[in-house]
Amino acid sequence: MDASGQDVKTLAHVVRDLKSYALSEGFDDLAVSDCDVSRAAPKFKSWLDKGYAGDMGYLQSRFNLRESPELLVDGVKRVITLRMNYAATRDPSMKGLEFLNNSEKGFISQYALGRDYHKVLRRQLKKVAQRLQDLVGSSQQYRVFTDSAPIMEVEFAEKSGLGWRGKHTLLINRSIGSFFFLGEIFTDLELPVDEQQEGHCGSCTRCIDVCPTGAIVAPYELDARKCISYLTIELKGVIPEKYRGAIGNRIYGCDDCQVVCPWNKYAQQTAVTDFMSRDHLDGRELVELFEWSKEEFERLTEGSAIRRIGYDRWLRNIACALGNAPTTSEVLSALHSRAEYPSEMVREHIIWAIEQHEQRKSLIE
């Protein structure tokens, strides 16, 4: 018996059954950790104090929930973390770092090419949680999370042995790399915990070296204010001019640090059809994407994580990328066609983009 009077052997059988069920529901692995974050909380607080969170004020305002999981689920004792692979076949010109040679096309981070992962994971997590409820009875207290609440999910995943935190701060698994999502079930069951792995980054610094904006300021430390994923997704206002050139043709997120990671040579094709790349998003011409009306944007991004940035930020990002694209009549025509766009934020990026092309033309002349 454990401290709560539950049969440890029985609980071990519960975990095995739950893992088998999770695999049948599209997850790649399941592991259990305790809910102690005393090691991670001070590091996260230091990160916040440095201002690295940028405009993501919600990270600071809900810090107390991150350092105290029991405030989210009364009596929580364990965190069940599940991993789901999202790596999918995409347009060949957008694979690896090849997209850098196709600056007339818009690059979208691989995780956003399919259906919004929040919806997919939450649906499947609820099934696993219900399975757990069926196995142990209705007295269990639990709650599922899909990047939807202030929890330290990478910390829990690392503690459970699902991988280790890489120098780019993402979780890496030696069997499939890092192109996967994480979801959690908090429970008051004192389930047996899994063993944490050692890190396997060694002396490698490829993720740090490749970052276009130098956002990985030290191993395991990211300044989000410089990160292209933050600039194109989380930032609600104007993208600082000093980063616009480095953004290149990335219009939603950035995968560079993952693409160059040696462990991602083991990345496998996802079996989850919801994460398959949508043809109208992958490898599309920037001009074509920039010409979408608001109605087209909403229709073609329906069910996608991209929709959450809204139409104006979509145009802002593409205008920035068009400023880095080759100077062609099509590019210039597209930019000038929206020069009077109602949003001042969008207009600023369009004006900047036009100026980039004018400067290049003057240098040639």
* Helix, strand, coil abundance in the chain, percent, nearest 5: 45, 10, 40
- What would you measure as the largest C-alpha separation in the chain, in angstroms? 82
* DSSP 8-class letter at 233: I
Let me know: does 192 contact 32? Beta carbons within 8 Å.
yes
> Which is catalytic among the residues 147, 188, 194, 312?
147
Query: How far, in Å, CA of 171 to CA of 229, rounded?
Result: 16
49 is catalytic: no
Let me know: does 82 contact 29? Beta carbons within 8 Å.
yes
Q: Whose structure tokens read 């079996």?
A: 271
Calculate the alpha carbon distances from 297 to 90, 103, 232, 236 in Å: 20, 21, 16, 18
Q: Is 182 exposed, middle or buried (0-12, 13-18, 19+ CB in 10 A)?
A: buried
Q: Which positions are annotated as active-site residues?
A: 147
